[in-house]
Chains A and B, each alone.
Chain A
Amino acid sequence: MWLYQRMLQYPVKVSGPNPALAKNIITQYGGPDGELAASMRYLTQRYTMPLKETQGLLTDVGTEELAHLEIVAALVYNLVKDASIQQIKAAGLDPYYADHDRALYFVNADGNPWTAAYIQSKGDPITDLHEDMAAEQKARSTYEYLIDLSDDPLVTDALRWLREREIVHFQRFGEALVRTQEYLDNKKFY
């Protein structure tokens, strides 16, 4: 089971309504390299990992990604909650508003809904860990593009923190890949 802890993993703030920024950041909520995809990928891949420690890593990183999903939601929610209809129209967020008002929904920056086709669960632990490492790099790149687009220093601070986490996750998945590869090689010879 999972437990909910009633706090954000990292304290984030926004300077004020900014639907244009929210429109881009929402891709880390429901986009191809976003936090929902990350969490679901790791949590569903863990069952077929041969090493207990890699099952643990996927459980723990998948759980941390849920905390990041909440941070991204908190950013988007606070960037749009007090935005006027005029601001929403000017930002090009009106098609989103037509379907969801100011509610959170899993879409990328273009408004395409989240799909399980964003992730893979292949059963081959080497393949899956390579996918995980690539996923962390893709998430890092996305946070860098969002940092380029951000005109709110408080939001930029949150994006930088989230970007750093992807680098740590990439490092850990790389170590898990080496351990898994060694385990599989030893199994072949003995």
Chain B
Amino acid sequence: MSRNREALLREIQEIQFTTVELQLFLDTHPENRSALADYVEYSNKLHDLILQYSKLYGPLIGFGITSEELDKGYRWINSWPWEDLGGNR
């Protein structure tokens, strides 16, 4: 995986971690307006990054949520997240 691709993925992982945290928090604090405002802000940021990543490297979410690019072929199956984690020493 290229350095740019990995960096963009890290950014997505970090921002999505925040949205997961906020969503769980809102499940038990639904009246908390500032957590809701943060959730909206981070969700918007996350959408932009996921779209950016999917255009460059293929869809990040399946079933039509992020699309393929016609000229680039079917890229969903290109690589899987459990590959290349450094098993072979």
Residues of B within 8 Å of A179, CB to CB, are 28
Residues of B within 8 Å of A64, CB to CB, are 20, 24
**How near does chain A come to B31, taking the closest CB pair, in angstroms?**
10
Q: How far apart sit A75 and B85, CA to CA, in the bound complex (Å)?
A: 8
Q: How far apart sit A6 and B20, CA to CA, in the bound complex (Å)?
A: 16
Instruction: Find A74's partner among B27, B81, B89 (CB 8 Å cutoff).
Output: B81
In the complex, the answer to whether A78 meets B87 with C-beta atoms within 8 Å is: yes
Name A51-66 residues within 8 Å CB distance of B: 53-54, 56-57, 60-61, 64
In the complex, the answer to whether B13 meets A11 with C-beta atoms within 8 Å is: yes
Counting chain A residues whose Cβ lies within 8 A of the other chain, the interface size class is: 35 or more
In the complex, the answer to whether A5 meets B27 with C-beta atoms within 8 Å is: no
Question: Interface code B59-73, partner A: CB below 8 Å = 1, 0 otherwise?
Answer: 111110100000000
In the complex, the answer to whether B24 meets A6 with C-beta atoms within 8 Å is: no
In the complex, the answer to whether B30 meets A81 with C-beta atoms within 8 Å is: no
Nearest CB in chain B to that of A54: its residue: B27
Q: How far apart sit A16 and B59, CA to CA, in the bound complex (Å)?
A: 30
Q: How far apart sit A169 and B20, CA to CA, in the bound complex (Å)?
A: 11
Instruction: Find B17's partner among A9, A70, A172 (CB 8 Å cutoff).
Output: A9
Q: How far apart sit A12 and B9, CA to CA, in the bound complex (Å)?
A: 13
Q: How far apart sit A79 and B12, CA to CA, in the bound complex (Å)?
A: 26
In the complex, the answer to whether A3 meets B65 with C-beta atoms within 8 Å is: yes
Q: How far apart sit A175 and B30, CA to CA, in the bound complex (Å)?
A: 12
**How near does chain A come to B76, taking the closest CB pair, in angstroms?**
7
Nearest CB in chain B to that of A10: its residue: B13
- Residue contacts A-B, CB under 8 angstroms, 28 given: A3-B61, A3-B62, A4-B61, A6-B59, A6-B61, A6-B76, A6-B81, A7-B9, A7-B81, A8-B81, A11-B9, A12-B85, A13-B85, A14-B86, A16-B86, A17-B87, A17-B89, A53-B28, A53-B30, A57-B28, A60-B20, A60-B23, A74-B81, A74-B82, A74-B85, A175-B28, A175-B29, A176-B28
Give residues in A with beta carbon < 8 Å to B: 1, 3-17, 53-54, 56-57, 60-61, 64, 70, 73-75, 77-79, 81-82, 154, 168-169, 172, 175-176, 179
- List 12 additional contacts besides A7-B13, A56-B27; criterion CB under 8 Å: A8-B81, A10-B17, A12-B85, A13-B86, A14-B87, A15-B89, A17-B88, A53-B27, A53-B28, A64-B20, A70-B82, A78-B82
